[in-house]
Structure 1
Amino acid sequence: MISRLLSIIVLVPLAILIVIFCVVNREPVSVSMDALGTSPQLAFQAPLFVLILASLILGVLLGGIATFVTQARYRARAARRARELETLRQEVDASNERLRREREDRERERAAQATSQATAQVAPPAPRDAPAGLAAPAPSGRPAIAGPRAA
């Protein structure tokens, strides 16, 4: 909104000045393309404002073309770096995906090891048909005797 207002404030007076310049300088002037003045066929007449505005427009166009040509290497370098940046981003994404998969695989392996160790550490329950005075079999394979004589 503010930029539009500023452009109106600048462009309207500029347009008014250009119109006034064109009205004041509408008399035809003679323009000769022959520097020595020996060839009258290289001369023409045109209003002064047309010549000045045409010169201004031609200067802006030539300056723009010259700037475009001289900045070509910078645009090429920027495009090359943009492609390189995109390639590096894709590599980072692929690396992050591989890392995520490896972490998930490690977590699955740890969970599987934990469950296998938990099932291996649990001692088998005592048989249900054992007499009341006997405990679970001792590591030697003989039944342990519970009570005062056991020691």
Structure 2
Amino acid sequence: MLRRIFNVLILIPLAIVLIALTVANRTMVPLSIDVFNPGNPALTYEAPLFVWLFGALALGVVCGGVGTWLTQGKHRKQERTFKKEAQKLRYEVEETKRKSGQDKGTTGQSLVLQR
């Protein structure tokens, strides 16, 4: 149900706008990579304008995703550290219970972790 609402409210209008943009921008446009000699045919590529627009959009999405992933690296590292520490502490608690003879399998006690 939620997927259907997402499709109707976001994806269908987005598809309509992208199709309209594509149809409206079909003319061939040159893209020159050589900034000092723009007339150089070896470094000039021609494609419809919508190709350049969608390419720039895709490049922006990829660069933004990579930038976000790189800036969140410290948080992922901290989370890994916390998970390792929590797992170590769980094993220590279970080992202490096992040694003291308190692990009788009664309810309310922590789970025994399998290695």
Residue 6 in structure 1 maps to residue 19 in structure 2: no
Instruction: Report the equivalent of 2:82.
Output: 81
**TM-score scaled to structure 1, two decimals?**
0.60
For 1:35 and 1:6, the matched residues in 2 are separated by 47
| Separation of aligned partners in 2, 1:71 and 1:59 | 18
Higher relative contact order (CA 8 A, sep 6+): 2
> Match of 2:29?
29
Q: Residues of 2 paired with 1:97 and 1:38: CA distance?
A: 77
Which residue does 1:123 correspond to in 2?
A: none
Question: Which amino acid in structure 2 is aligned with residue 26 of structure 1?
Answer: R
Greater radius of gyration (CA): 1
Unaligned runs of 5+ in 1: 105-151
Secondary structure class of the residue paired with 1:85:
helix
Matched with 2:60 is 59
Runs of at least 4 residues of structure 1 off by over 6 A?
Answer: none
CA contact (8 A) 2:32 2:38 kept: no
Q: What CA distance in whole angstroms lies between the structure 1 residues aligned with 2:98 and 2:38?
A: 80
CA distance in 2, matches of 1:44, 1:32: 6
**Aligned-pair identity (%):** 34
- Consecutive unaligned residues in structure 2, runs of 5 or more: 105-115
The corresponding residue for 2:18 is: 18
TM-score by length of 2: 0.77
Q: Does structure 1 retain, via aligned residues, the 8 Å contact 2:25–2:50?
A: yes
Q: State the AA in 2 paired with 1:65.
A: V
